[in-house]
């Protein structure tokens, strides 16, 4: 999801900007000349499998062809989210466009870094974003909030951090009530100079039961 900066009167802290810039630059992304990829996808939802081809060119250019319409829509959303997070972009195009401040509060996940004007704050430790906190409100939708805890990451061939396991806690920003939890586990495959998705497993709670979903990508080809 994109966030347009809102006017902020908070003075930017150069130390916070440097801290977030270093974490941003240490995060794995697809190369600047990345044109996309194709792959064969198999989705498994609690044992029900469906397969088909995918084409990923960017966050808004994702094609998934599966026989089940609902599963296809969900898989397309997952790939779009991956493309948003992994797509090439500069720090100035991302969180660098906001006013940034920081606070050392002794938290196990590191320094609190506030992104003013985006209803967000991160935590950063060892040049890695370890936690993301955000409140969202869109026209026609109930406001919601989430916290992402980054639990594990790998080091790529380019010596960049690539998240492999994280958990998302969704809650109401009005009363703080927890609404859902999703646990993500990712693996990747190196194709050319890009680390592409190989597998994704998501454990969530839907319709009164725990649901396990997996995406398995094979036969990757760069465009």
**Six-digit token pair at 77?**
């959303």
The mean of the pLDDT values for the chain is 93
pLDDT attached to residue 2:
45
Residue 6: is its pLDDT beyond 60? Answer: no
pLDDT tens digit sequence for 154-184: 999 999 999 999 999 999 998 999 999 999 9
Could you tell me which residues come within 8 angstroms of residue 174 by beta carbon, excluding any fewer than 6 positions away? Answer: 143
pLDDT tens digit sequence for 117-152: 999 999 999 999 999 999 987 777 778 899 999 999
Residue 185: is its pLDDT beyond 90? Answer: yes
Q: How many CB atoms lie within 10 A of CB 140?
A: 4
pLDDT attached to residue 152:
97
Query: Does residue 191 contact residue 222 with C-beta atoms inside 8 Å?
Result: yes
pLDDT tens digit sequence for 99-121: 999 999 999 999 999 999 999 99
């Amino acid at each position: 999801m994109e966030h347009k900066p809102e006017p902020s009167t908070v003075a930017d802290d150069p130390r916070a900007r440097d801290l977030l810039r270093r974490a941003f630059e240490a995060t794995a992304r697809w190369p600047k000349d990345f044109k996309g990829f194709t792959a064969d996808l198999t989705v498994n939802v609690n044992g029900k499998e469906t397969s088909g081809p995918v084409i990923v060119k960017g966050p808004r250019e994702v094609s998934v062809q599966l026989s089940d319409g609902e599963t296809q829509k969900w898989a397309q959303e997952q790939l779009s989210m991956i493309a948003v997070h992994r797509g090439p972009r500069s720090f100035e195009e991302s969180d660098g466009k906001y006013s940034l401040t920081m606070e050392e509060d002794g938290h196990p996940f590191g320094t609190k870094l506030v992104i003013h004007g985006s209803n967000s704050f991160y935590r950063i430790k060892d040049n890695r974003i370890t936690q993301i906190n955000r409140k969202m409100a869109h026209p026609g939708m109930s406001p919601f909030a989430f916290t992402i805890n980054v639990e594990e990451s790998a080091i790529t061939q380019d010596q960049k951090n690539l998240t492999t396991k994280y958990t998302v806690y969704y809650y109401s920003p009005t009363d703080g009530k927890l609404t859902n939890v999703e646990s993500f586990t990712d693996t990747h495959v190196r194709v050319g100079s890009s680390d592409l998705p190989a597998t994704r497993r998501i454990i969530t709670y839907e319709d009164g039961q725990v649901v396990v979903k997996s995406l398995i990508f094979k036969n990757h080809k760069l465009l």
